[in-house]
Amino acid sequence: MQDHRRFLKPEVVSKLSGMEIKARLVVEGFIAGLHRSPYHGFSVEFAEHRQYMPGDPLRNIDWKVYGKTDRYFVKEFEEETNLKAYLLLDISGSMGYSSNGINKLEYGSYLCAALSYLMLKQRDSVGLVIFDQKIKKYIPPKSTLSHLHNLLRELDKISPSETTNISSTLHQMAERIKRRGLIILLSDLFDQPGEIITGLKHFRHKKHEVIVFHILDPKEQSFAFDNEAVFKDLETKEELWTSPWQIRKEYQDRLNELLNRYTLECRESLIDYVLLDTSVSFDRALFSYLNKRQKLW
């Protein structure tokens, strides 16, 4: 029997061809592991009907289901039942960094693909926002399975681009999205942290639920470089010649301060903050989404 859980590993997924195959196998691997620790007790239900309750309009009863089961079920309608989710993917230049074979943007795109697949299977609506210093592409949320192809096609085309302006996109989308929904930001958050947090709080002010997937490369956390090197900013192209071991401690201290700030301020605003690196299997992120969705229901 094939162990689909291996498809939760980023390095395995990166070798697959086709975004739809990647998304499907990641989700199948995730579901295969749901009943194993630490996911015991969670399930993924792909239901289109719910049991009839007194007061439901009789016209909504699905008589075909009644004929097969001798039980009353009503059809669920998108506007009444579906969660509307928006995936905001940062494609700025810094997202192109990699020290282990898969860059941050690839990781984020695979995660977006898997989340889209999972959401649409659950009859949720999902939209996609691709941005760097401005919004490059906006695909409004829909809940049809045919919508998946539109999302995956866009995710398959992206590449690291220009400088970033995360807060601008957050504020624009907070004003644009009228109905309460779930906002999922996928980014390395290499921008002004105060402005990013203000943008995230704008969504909370508008009553949206928010998940932040903070994607970093392992070496961006460890700074485990051994030789003298020239470090080049992938967005500004600025270069710095340095001996990594001389600045590693200060770098790690400043990074920890930044991560602690995001953790604390997101917690205070009831924002789910999830730190990921590109070596981490995708199940942690998918489980965070599923846990948030369960709370919303």
Tell whether 72 and 207 lie within a shared domain.
no
Q: What average pLDDT does the chain have?
A: 87
| Contacts for 50-57: CB closer than 8 Å, 24+ residues apart | 50/74, 50/76, 50/81
Name, in order, each residue with C-beta under 8 angstroms of 69's C-beta and a sequence gap of 6 or more.
Answer: none
Residue 39 has pLDDT above 70, yes or no: no
Task: Give the best-scoring range by mean pLDDT among 77-81, 101-105, 242-246.
Answer: 101-105
* Encoded tokens for 288: 């965070």
Q: Please, which pLDDT band fits residue 166 given cuts at 50, 70 and 90?
A: very high
Give the whole-angstrom CA distance, residue 29 versus residue 228.
Answer: 41
Query: β-strand 125-131 against 84-90: which pairing, if any?
Result: parallel
Tell whether 153 and 169 lie within a shared domain.
yes
Q: Which domain holds residue 59?
A: 49-76
pLDDT recorded at residue 249: 87
Sign of CA dihedral 199, 205, 206, 210: positive
pLDDT recorded at residue 121: 86
* CATH code of the domain containing 115: 3.40.50.410
Tell whether 187 and 60 lie within a shared domain.
no
In a domain, 35, yes or no: no
Tell whether 214 and 257 lie within a shared domain.
yes
Of all residues in the chain, the percent with pLDDT exceeding 70 is: 87
Tell whether 58 and 122 lie within a shared domain.
no
Angle at 161 between CA 160 and CA 167, to 5 degrees: 100
Tell whether 105 and 189 lie within a shared domain.
yes
In a domain, 101, yes or no: yes
Q: What is the mean pLDDT of residues 55-71?
A: 74
In a domain, 237, yes or no: yes
- The number of domains in the chain is 2
Global pTM value:
0.84
Q: Please, which pLDDT band fits residue 78 given cuts at 50, 70 and 90?
A: very low
- Distances in Å between the Cα of 71 and the Cα atoms of 65, 119, 217, 218, 259 are 7, 27, 52, 53, 52
Q: What is the mean pLDDT of residues 64-89?
A: 73
Query: Which of 34, 60, 76 is the last residue before a domain boundary?
Result: 76
Give the whole-angstrom CA distance, residue 14 versus residue 109.
Answer: 11
Q: What is the mean pLDDT of residues 179-184?
A: 95
